[in-house]
Homo-oligomer: A and B are copies of this chain.
Amino acid sequence: MATIKEVAELAGVTPTTVSNVLRDRGRVGTATRERVLNAVAAKGYRPNLNARALVERRAPTLALMLGCITNPFYPEFTLQTNNAARRHGRFLLVCNTDYEPDGGSGFLAEVAGSLSDGVLVANTGSLQVDELKSIQATGTPVVISVWEFPDVDPGIPCVAFDSHKAGYIATDHLLDLGHSRIGALVGSEKNGIHGGRYKGFCDALRARKVKHLKTDARFGTDSYQGGFDAALDLLTSTPDLTAIFVSNDLPALGALNAAASLGFNVPEDLSIVGITNIELTSQSRPALTTVAIPTAEMAEKSVDLLIKLASNDPDAPAMVRTADPVLIKRASTAAPKSRATK
């Protein structure tokens, strides 16, 4: 492979000038720049990124830690993060942690060593905040990309969306349609990762003085199969529900299928609403009403924040908030039968 020296000789400049052109640094005239780029092309020169990383004390990659790439939220988030990273000239190292025997701790430590100059954590999952802090302490910036609780500082720089509002909007939509007997499938324990979404659900009901029976909720359902199983159970034990609030789209799609299996017509017999707005929600039959969270914005703001931290920008904030979630009305929700026929 050609060396930078050969390129410099061909262009009649110093290696430093070649380097400046390739990194878009320093003052280089247009004619010189063009001569250098022609020489780079002629020699087929490719800068050695590892050497550059050593010299600049940073690697050209950002790492994204996520639970499992096959949960459809993550590919969508990964794509947005990837594109944001590319706009900053970085490559994205995608790290699946779910299948690591230690829950991703070892992965995180190794990636943060010198393979990447910053770590985005899309799913804290089994990674503890203390672990993230210990990575930070070694000088590698860490950003939590998807933080559900804008009122709580996790102690790590983060991008937060208002999960409580997402739950509230979804529930308000069902109440506006006239539902008053609404079940809930919650992806986590009551105070877990979907706790904000569930609290939004409870608060929306309370604001309209609609009762929420404990027997109408199921927790820990955050997968397609989890939603399917929990909806079967809920609808079998409480067939008079006219709507189900689901704290995430994937279990909502499972619930949609479970309802059909039991002979419920959605939305005529039963309304179902999710949260997130993954691509699949527009492809299910019926298409799923959901509350969109700003995935692309979260990805962009996470990368922006991480790069600020990596360049020791003193103005890097501790938390960046996204725009509010918005209702995406599709075909899985309608007025309950009793009301529709009144």
Please give the residue numbers on chain A whose beta carbons come within 8 Å of chain B beta carbons, in ascending order.
1, 44, 46-51, 53-54, 59-61, 68-70, 72, 74-76, 78-79, 82-83, 86, 91-96, 99-100, 109-115, 138-139, 224, 253-254, 257, 260, 279-280, 283, 285
Contact = CB atoms under 8 A, between A and B. Distances in A.
A28 B82 CA distance: 42
A114 B91 CA distance: 13
A139 B1 contact: yes
A110 B49 contact: yes
A93 B93 contact: yes
A100 B49 CA distance: 20
B76 A99 contact: no
A69 B60 contact: no
A82 B96 contact: yes
B78 A69 contact: yes
17 contacts: A1-B138, A1-B139, A46-B109, A46-B113, A48-B54, A49-B110, A50-B50, A60-B115, A69-B78, A70-B76, A72-B75, A79-B96, A79-B99, A83-B96, A91-B110, A92-B94, A253-B283
Contacts of A113: 46-49
A258 B115 CA distance: 46
B279 A257 contact: no
A76 to B, nearest CB: 6
A285 B283 CA distance: 12
